[in-house]
Structure formats: C-alpha cells, structure tokens
C-alpha cells in the first residue's frame, strides 16, 4: 500500500454487531469468572451509552452543543422515582411517563434555546439544565438534596423481571439496541440528511425550502425522550434518584463520551461511554484524582485520533 493510500474502512454494520455480541456475552462470562459486579458495571455503562447516543443525535449530526442534556436523564429518573413514592411501579406506565416528561421538557426548552446560536445556545441549555437541577434539589417531599430511595425496581404487569440483575441487564441491552437502530434509521433518512445539511449550511437549507428550526426542534425532542428512557433505566439500576443526575458536570461527562467515541458516529457514542466509564472505574481505584490522569489521555485522543474511537476502528454510521 502506498504511503498516501487510505486505510480500508469496515462495513458500517460490522462494529455495532461485534459490540452487541460482546455485550450479550458479558453476564455469562462474568458468572463463569465469579465477577458478578461486572454485570452491574456494564449495565450502568449501557444506560449511559443510551444517553450519549441521544446526545450524539443533536451534537454529532446537528452541531447543537447542549450543556443541559443530563436534565433529560434526571427528569426520566425522577418520573420513575416519584411514581414509586406514590406506589406506582408498573413500567408499562412509568416508563412512558418518564419518556413523555423528558420530551415535554425538551420541547419547552428547545423551542426557546433553538432561537439562539453558538455560545448563546450553550449557555441557555446550561441555564435550563441548572434550573431542572435546582428544582429537583428543592423537592423536599422527594428527598431534596439527599435524593430519593426506591424500595425496589419497576414491575411489568405484576411480574418483577427487573429484580433479577441478569434479566435487567438484557432489558437494558435491548433498549440500547432499539435506540441504536432507531437513531441509525433516523440519521439515514431524509430527516437526518436535512439535520446534517443544517449543520453544514443553514442558509442553503432555507434556500431549498426547508425549515431548519422545525427539524432541529424535532431532533432535540427525540434526543430528550431517548435520554429520558436512559434516566428511567438508571433509576431502576441504582434504585435511587438524585439531583446530581441533572448537574452540568454530568452533561459535560456525556459530551466527553461523544467526543471520545467520535461525533457523528452512533457506534462511537457507545464506544465513548464504554471507554469513559471503564477508565473511570479503573483509574478511581488508583487515585481519587483520576481526572488528572484522564484529562491528558482525552487530549491525546483528540490530537492523534481525529474523529474519536468510532472513526478509528470503523467508518461513520452515517456513511453509505
């Protein structure tokens, strides 16, 4: 191969399929190796992968840098937590409520935020995120700053499949696979091409007859609803809900996951969540100041692995 030749890219489906197979094998491998904690850790990773995937829809494909995305995760979590406090445990009710609540918040805040551009958009999403954070902190009937403990996990039509960690693991894996397929179909559709076109040139899209604001708002709401689902799963996984789920630091973590994995690569968002949380778990056992080590590592990825992990090991999901 000549020096200037491009490295052949893998088919767009190959990396996601390999990831799915590896994730599906985790419980069996963890049980065989007597490492039950690994199942719980990877469950948490997959939940955040759903949240990172939702952010990648608007950040990677729409260039909408939201510093309040974690608010949607927190709203989904609080919807399930507050429902449990009122003895409503059925996931067939609480999960749609969580997704709808996050979607309505995204609609209300997105309708305002998307009237702005650039740093103003970043700051207004940060403001809305902090508004949600402080609202949750003030809910004294539901734990306030201390958070809300759930005395169990959600039920499904009177059964309790979520109580079994392995069953819950595969529920989360199914949700991740479903969200990935939905997001991939979305970005590959005409709608996704319009969003990508607005990212490249808003004026050109307006000139050919599209309304960028409407398309961006729909994408923003869909991303918020997907993050709300992640929040509902997170509440069940931890059996605890906290205002910290909505903090700007958590939104920053999600942005780092997307950047680390590769913006505009759906499997990259999943890889970024895996890499970020796995490194956090390993480095936190070395020192409580693990971010001091992680920061330079992230800078090296940005400098020498342009496009993140997703583009390093396979081409973008948006590619034909």
Question: Residue 156: is its pLDDT beyond 70?
Answer: yes
Residue 55 lies in a domain: yes
Mean pLDDT of the chain: 89
What are residue 240's phi and psi, to 5 degrees?
Answer: -160, 145
CA geometry: angle 196, 200, 205, nearest 5 deg: 80
Q: How many CA atoms lie within 13 A of 106 on its CB side?
A: 31
93 within domain boundaries: yes
Structure-model confidence comparison of residues 44 and 201, the more confident one: 44
Within a domain: 240: yes
- Please indicate, yes or no, if residue 7 is contained in any of the structural domains: no
**pLDDT by residue (tens digit) across 35-71?**
878 999 999 999 999 999 999 999 989 989 999 999 9
Q: pLDDT over 90 for what percent of the chain? A: 66
Q: Two tokens at 81?
A: 């937590």
Task: Extract the tokens encoding 283.
Answer: 């480095």
pLDDT at 159 over 90: no
List the domain range (segments joined by +) for residue 103: 28-247
b or e along 38-71 (b: 16 or more beta carbons within 10 Å of the residue's beta carbon)?
bbebbbbbbbbbbbbbbbbbbbbbbbbebbbbbb
pLDDT at 10: 53
Number of domains in the chain: 1
Q: Is residue 241 part of a domain?
A: yes
Residue 313: inside a domain, yes or no?
A: no
Does 61 reside within a domain? yes
- Residue 99 included in any domain: yes
Distance from the Cα of residue 249 to its chain's centroid? 14
Task: Read off the pLDDT of each residue in 280-295 and give the average, rounded to a whole number.
Answer: 83
Q: Indicate if the pLDDT at residue 301 is higher than 50.
A: yes
């Amino acid at each position: 191969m000549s020096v200037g030749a491009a490295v052949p890219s893998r088919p767009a489906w190959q990396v996601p399929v390999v990831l799915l197979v590896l994730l599906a094998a985790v419980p069996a491998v963890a049980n065989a190796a007597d490492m039950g904690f690994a199942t719980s850790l990877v469950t948490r990773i997959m939940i955040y992968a759903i949240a990172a995937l939702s952010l990648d829809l608007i950040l990677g494909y729409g260039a909408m840098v939201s510093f309040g995305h974690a608010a949607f995760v927190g709203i989904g979590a609080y919807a399930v937590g507050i429902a449990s406090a009122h003895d409503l445990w059925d996931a067939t009710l609480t999960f749609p409520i969580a997704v709808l609540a996050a979607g309505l918040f995204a609609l209300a805040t997105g309708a305002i935020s998307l009237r702005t551009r650039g740093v103003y958009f970043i700051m207004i999403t940060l403001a809305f995120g902090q508004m949600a954070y402080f609202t949750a902190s003030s809910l004294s009937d539901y734990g306030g700053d201390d958070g809300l403990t759930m005395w169990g996990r959600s039920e499904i039509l009177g059964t309790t499949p979520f109580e079994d960690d392995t069953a819950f693991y595969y529920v989360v894996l199914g949700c991740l696979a479903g969200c990935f397929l939905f997001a991939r179909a979305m970005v590959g559709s005409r709608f996704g091409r319009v969003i990508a076109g607005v990212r490249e040139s808003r004026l050109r899209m307006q000139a050919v007859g599209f309304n960028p604001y409407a398309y961006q708002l729909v994408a923003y709401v869909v991303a918020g609803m997907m993050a709300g689902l992640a929040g509902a799963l997170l509440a069940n996984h931890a059996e605890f809900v906290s205002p910290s789920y909505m903090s700007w630091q958590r939104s920053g973590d999600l942005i780092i996951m997307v950047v680390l994995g590769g913006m505009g690569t759906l499997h990259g968002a999943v890889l970024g969540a895996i890499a970020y949380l796995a490194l956090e778990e390993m480095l936190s056992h070395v020192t409580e100041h693990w971010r001091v080590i992680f920061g330079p590592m992230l800078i090296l990825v940005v400098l020498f692995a342009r496009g993140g992990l997703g583009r390093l090991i396979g081409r973008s999901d948006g590619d034909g």
